[in-house]
Amino acid sequence: MSLNLHSHLQGISAFVHTVEAGSFTAAAARMGVSKSATGKSVARLEDRLGIRLLDRTTRSLNLTVEGQAYYQSCLKVLEELNAAETLLASRKRVVSGTLRINLPISFGRLCVMPVLMGVASRNPDLNLDVSFTDRQVDLVEEGIDLVVRIGDPGAHASLVGRSIGRQHSIICAAPTYLNSRGRPTTVEELDSHDCLAFGKDGRPLPWAVVGLDGTVRLLTIRPRHTICHGEALRDAAANGLGLAYLSTWLAAEDLRIGRLEAVSIPTPVEDAPISALWPRSRDLAPKVRAVVDALVEAFMPTQPTES
Determine the Cα–Cα distance for residues 148 and 103; give it in Å rounded to an integer.
5
pLDDT in tens, 16-58: 888 888 888 888 887 778 888 888 989 998 998 899 999 988 7
On the question of pLDDT at 302 being above 80, the answer is no
Query: Domain 3-73, what architecture?
Result: Orthogonal Bundle (1.10)
Rg (CA), the chain: 23
Query: Domain 93-166+272-299, what architecture?
Result: 3-Layer(aba) Sandwich (3.40)
Determine the Cα–Cα distance for residues 271 and 277; give it in Å rounded to an integer.
19
CATH 1.20.120.50 fits 169-262, yes or no: no
List the domain boundaries for the chain.
3-73, 93-166+272-299, 169-262
pTM for this one? Answer: 0.63
For the chain, give the percent of residues with pLDDT over 70. 89
Q: Would the CATH topology of 3-73 be identical to that of 169-262?
A: no
**CA-CA-CA-CA dihedral for 111, 178, 185, 267, to nearest 10:** -10
pLDDT in tens, 235-288: 999 999 999 999 999 999 999 999 999 999 999 877 788 999 988 765 678 899
Output 152 or 71, whichever has higher pLDDT: 71
| pLDDT on residue 155 | 62
Q: Please state the rounded mean pLDDT for residues 129-150.
A: 86
On the question of pLDDT at 80 being above 90, the answer is no
22-31, 81-90, 105-114, 246-255: least confident range: 81-90
Highest mean pLDDT among 61-65, 84-88, 149-153, 155-159: 61-65
| pLDDT on residue 156 | 65
On the question of pLDDT at 60 being above 90, the answer is no
pLDDT in tens, 202-248: 789 999 999 878 888 899 999 999 999 999 999 999 999 999 999 99
Strands 225-227 vs 195-200: parallel, antiparallel or unpaired = parallel
The three-state DSSP-derived secondary structure of the chain is: CCHHHHHHHHHHHHHHHHHHHCCHHHHHHHHCCCHHHHHHHHHHHHHHHCCCCEEECCCCEEECHHHHHHHHHHHHHHHHHHHHHHHHHHHHCCCCEEEEEEECHHHHHHHHHHHHHHHHHHCCCEEEEEEECCCCCCHHHHCCCEEEEECCCCCCCCEEEEEEEEECEEEEECHHHHHHHCCCCCHHHHHHCCEEEEEECCEECCEEEECCCCCEEEECCCCCEEECCHHHHHHHHHCCCCEEEEEHHHHHHHHHHCCCEECCCCCCCCCEEEEEEEECCCCCCHHHHHHHHHHHHHHCCCCCCCC
Q: Which are the contacts of 155, defined by CB distance < 8 A and separation ≥ 6?
A: none
